[in-house]
Every structure is written in C-alpha cells, then in structure tokens.
Chain A
Amino acid sequence: MQAGLSVVGASLLVWAMMPLAPGDPVNMILAARRIEEPTLEQIAALRAQLGTDLPLWQQYLVWLRGVLTGDFGFSWRTGQPVMAEIAARLPATLRLVGTGLAISVVWSLALALVAARWVGRWPDRLVLAYTRMMAALPSFVLALLVMQFVVVGMGLGRVLSGGAGMTLVIAAMVIGIDRAAGWTQLLRAGLLAQMAQGHADVARARGASEGRILTRQALPGAALPFLTAVGISIGGLIGGSPVIEVIFTWPGLGEHVLMALSVRDVPVIQAFVLLAVLAYVGASLLIDLAALWLDPRLRGQGAQT
C-alpha cells in the first residue's frame, strides 16, 4: 500500500519533468537533433507526436498508459523508441551491477565475520581502518585509480572493453569493494549486538565455541538489517553505475544516460529514473519477503492482522 502510493507519486514526479522542462519541447527536440532551421511540417509533425495540445491530466494518463505497456515514447535526440534503446543496453548494466552486488555481499560478510570473531583485536582494528579508508574513497575515484594502475599499468583487462570478461571482473570489484565498506560496518555492529544477547550466552553456557555462536546464532539475527541495507542500495547502485561504466567504457546504460543528460533528452532520463525506482521498490518487496522467511515472529504478526 505504502509502496504503491510511493510509486504513483514517483511516476507523477517523473512525468512532471515533461511539462516542467523549461522551453518548448519541440524546440528542445530540434536542438537535441541539431536541426537549426526546421520546416513548418517538421514542427507540426512533432507537436502531433508529443500530444502537447491535450490538457495536462490527459497527457499524464496517455503517458502512464504508455509506460505501463513499456512505451516511454521516442528519444528526443535520436528519434528512436526509448525502450528499444534501453533494452539493448540494460543487460550489460544489470550484469555489471549484479556481479558487483554479489562481490560486495560476499566481501562484507567475510570482513564483518572476521572483525566480529576477533573484536577489539588486530583483525578487527584492521577491518575497521580499512572500511574507514574505503568509505572515504568515492567509487569513481577508486575506479579511476584502478583503471590507471591495474588496467593501464599492469595490463589486466582492456581499456576499451566492449563488455569483455576481465573488465567485468575488475569493474564489478570496484563496485563491490566500494559498497562493502558501509555494509561491513553495519553487519559488524549487528553481529556484536547479537553476540551480547541472552541466547548467545545460553549457547556459551552449553559449551558452543565463539565461532559457532557467531555463524549459527548471531548471523541469522543480524542478517535482516544487513539485507535491508543491501536492498535499499540497489536503486543507488543503478544510479551510480553510469560513472563507473564511463570509466571502464562498459557498453551499458551509462554513456546513453550521460548523452541524454547533456542534451536534456527528457524521455530517456524519465525511463532511467523510473527503472531505478522500480528496482528499488522491487528490491524492497523482496527484502520484506526475505524478512518473513528469516524471522518467524513476523509471520505470527502477519497472521493476526
């Protein structure tokens, strides 16, 4: 219900970009396509295609109906259908973001478990110092340094990737390492909070080793806030991928979105923004389901209401 309301509100906001865009869209389209002296027929044809003569609420409904059937109109810059252009590039972006996400989850899990197992001792201090450093290094700066030192300097991967295998690993590792910093801190704190609770003491009294308590008792309890943070960040990952893609010349949405931004190609930007919103809302729903599976107490509540 809440999520549905947010999506409707978000769609309204995203749609509003069209009428809010300063200047006549027809002029912007002509400018984006670098047509300097349009004929009257060209202008009339564009107006009919845009449907800007309709009242606003009708424009919104027409737009919404299109969006629901996957039709975002045509790119102001290229004149091609927005959806076709995005569909051609989306798989590469999803491959990169998905691999990055997986690396990030595994890496933060490993670091947090090590830190929590030897809390206060040198492995913990090392992990904390490392996460502080990484949290201060923006992903695009890390990507640039890796590009120069690893790809150019050591000859791993290719500068002009075209989506090649080694570049995927390197670029995904940049995304993964960047995201893992915050998640490691979060998961470590969650694990420590769980280790201090009564059920961990009971397990201790029954002679379980600290390592076993950590993985069997603390980890399931600390997993939910961790997963929630992972889910929330998926929209941000897609939003942050253009800059990484541009640095690694990854053939995903990045370059396309940047071109759209620099010439104010509104339909393409609308599609990109809605895509990220859908990924975010979808991930939130998945996390809610995962919560039911992880925490039996929530199931009871669901049955009562």
Chain B
Amino acid sequence: MIRLTAGGAWPRTRTAASDGLLAALWQHRQGRAGLLLMLALVLLAVLGPALLPHDPNLPNYAKTLAAPSAEHWLGTDATGRDQLARLADGAHRSLGGAALVMALVFGVGLIVGVVAAVAGGLLDIVLMRIVDVMMALPGLIFAFAVLGLLGPGYLNLLFALAVADWAYYARLARATALDAAARPHVEAARMMGRAPWQVLIAHILPAVAWQLAVLATLGMGGMIAAISAFSFLGLGVQVPHAEWGAMLADSRFYFTIAPWLLIAPAALIFAAVLASNQLGEALRDITTPEGRS
C-alpha cells in the first residue's frame, strides 16, 4: 500500500525521458528506423484514402486479378478492386485497431494497477487474484473464449484482445506504482507536505505511464499480428471491409497467377510489426539505459 501523506512543498520533478522523447528516439538507431517506418505506414493510412482515386470496396468485374499497372499500382484483386486502395483502407483496421486495443489496455491496466497499489488491503488482494487468473489463461487463449462468446466480428475481436491482455498491464502498473512510491524523491515530496493526490499525479502516475507505454509499444506488434491472424481466419474483419490479414486470406488461392496480391499485405504486416518492435525496443533502451543489449 502506498503512503501518500506528509508535510511541506516540493518542486515538481521530471522523469528522465520526459524531455524530448522524439529527439531521444531519433538519436537511437532502432528508434529512428522504427519512427520512419511507422510514419510511412501512418501516412498510407491517413493520406491513402484521400489521395487514391479508387474506391477500396467497389468491384470491377471487367478487370479482375490485373497485374500492377500505371492505373492500379499494385494490381486488382479477384473481384477487380484496387489493391493499393484496399491496403490503405485496411491500414485503419490493422494499425488503428491495434493502437485502439493498446490504448484500452493501457487505460484499464493503469487504473486497476494504481487503484490496487494505492488502496492496498482487501481490494488489492482481490484485484491481483483476478489478474493472476487472467494470466493463467495463456496468450491469446482467452481471446478465443471471448470471441467464442460474442461471435466473429471486428469490434468483438478488438474487445476480446483487450480483455485477454489487460492483466499484464495492471500487474506492471501496480509494481511500478509501489516502486515509485518508495523512491527517495517521492518520499521527500511526501515529507514536504504535498497532498496525496499531488504526489500521485506528479510522481506516481508519470512513472507508471512510462512503464506501461514501453510495454504497450513492445506489445503493439503482437497485437497487429493477432488482429490480422484472426481476420485471416475470418473471425475478425468481415466482408467487404479490407484488412491486411483478411486480404491475405482472399489472395492466397490466386498465388500462382497473381503472387503480388499475397506479397503486398504480407510485406505491410511485416513492416508494421517490425516498426512497432523497433520503437518498443528503442523506448525500452531510452527509459532503462542499463538494460541495453
């Protein structure tokens, strides 16, 4: 349990990495690569639908499985839809969906973990037992269960993935909060008479948020992979909507005549996971310099 009371005033301290995070990432070799790659993918998602002339969901049966050309840069799929437009549209669901799930587990993990740490006692015990049970359901297994309960669908999938993942964040948030509360400068802030909520906001929450942000960035790649894997199996994004994994499923049977249809979404999934992993590792190095490998 965290003690948040004592007396006096103390200037607000800053966490080491809170100044110039982008600059720090830019200085880091992996961080820069991840940043550039992620930026390119986000640009594809944001600008693609506005700039590309083709409707991602409009079939054109006169022009199915067309090879890459000046009009269709990455060719057309089995129903004549523009592959590049679908990749750009699909980026929202693959990348944006993963970001949404990460934001969700970040928020839930932060609240549950910090509440458990601050409250202590019975509430702490109950919350952590629930976390233990969730962590005994390995990996994505619990996502299967939730998806089985709700049935296939994109929003159901995002919800299922968030439910399967939050416990790890809650556990880390609680541990970080307890650790931060025991640090000398927080002790000092307490003794100087900062109000409990001030100590919480100025010292505990930033530390917890940093740790969770690192974990979320490291977990982002796995989340992108999970969303596309479930959609590949037909359990996530439903027709006619585009998503990279679902596009892999659509194109796999045309590989011998139109291999580019399979390679482009596979390359984008690879690039997105790679960018997330690089960013995550860079962030981890920046926040814990001694853990560098």
Contact = CB atoms under 8 A, between A and B. Distances in A.
Interface residues of A, number: 57
A281 B141 CA distance: 13
Contacts of B232: 140, 243
B239 interface: no
B141 A276 contact: yes
Contacts of B145: 13-14, 17, 269-270, 273
B138 A235 contact: yes
Interface string A268-305: 01101100110011000000000000000000000000
Given A132-B277, A138-B225, A262-B235, A236 B136 contact: no
Given A137-B270, A242-B233, A280-B136, A235 B141 contact: yes
Nearest to A189: B293
A147 to B, nearest CB: 8
Contacts of A147: 252
Given A21-B149, A132-B274, A262-B152, A239 B144 contact: yes
Main secondary structure of the interface of B (DSSP, over half): helix
Nearest to B244: A141
Q: Is the interface of A mostly helix, strand, loop or mixed?
A: helix
Contact of A136 (B135, B140, B221): B221
Nearest to B225: A138
A114 interface: no
Interface in B133-150: 133, 135-142, 144-145, 147-150
B256 interface: yes
A243 B140 contact: no
A261 B140 CA distance: 14
A236 B144 CA distance: 11
Q: Chain A CB within 10 Å — which of B142, B148, B233 has the most?
A: B148
B7 interface: no
B235 A281 contact: no
A5 B135 CA distance: 12
Contacts of B252: 144, 147-148
A90 interface: no
B141 A236 contact: yes
Given A22-B150, A273-B145, A243 B229 contact: yes
Given A20-B149, A141-B269, A277-B137, A9 B132 contact: yes
A156 interface: no
Given A240-B139, A260-B148, A273-B142, A246 B233 contact: yes
Contacts of B138: 232-236, 239, 276-277, 280
B139 A236 contact: yes
Contact of B136 (A6, A135, A152): A6
A41 to B, nearest CB: 28
Nearest to B249: A144
A120 to B, nearest CB: 11
Interface in A4-62: 5-7, 9-10, 12-14, 17, 20-22
A136 B274 contact: yes
Contacts of A20: 149
Given A141-B266, A236-B139, A261-B148, 17 more contacts: A7-B136, A10-B133, A17-B145, A21-B149, A132-B277, A135-B273, A137-B270, A138-B225, A141-B228, A141-B269, A148-B259, A152-B256, A233-B139, A261-B235, A266-B148, A266-B149, A280-B136
| Those 9 A-B pairs whose CB atoms lie nearest each other, nearest first | A235-B138, A236-B139, A9-B133, A138-B225, A269-B148, A6-B136, A136-B274, A136-B273, A280-B138
Interface of B: 129-130, 132-133, 135-142, 144-145, 147-152, 221, 225, 228-229, 232-235, 245, 248, 252, 255-256, 259, 262, 266, 269-271, 273-274, 277-278, 293
27 contacts: A2-B132, A5-B133, A6-B136, A9-B129, A13-B133, A13-B142, A136-B271, A138-B273, A139-B229, A140-B225, A141-B269, A148-B252, A148-B259, A152-B255, A232-B138, A235-B137, A235-B138, A238-B141, A239-B138, A239-B139, A239-B144, A258-B233, A262-B152, A266-B149, A269-B149, A277-B138, A281-B136
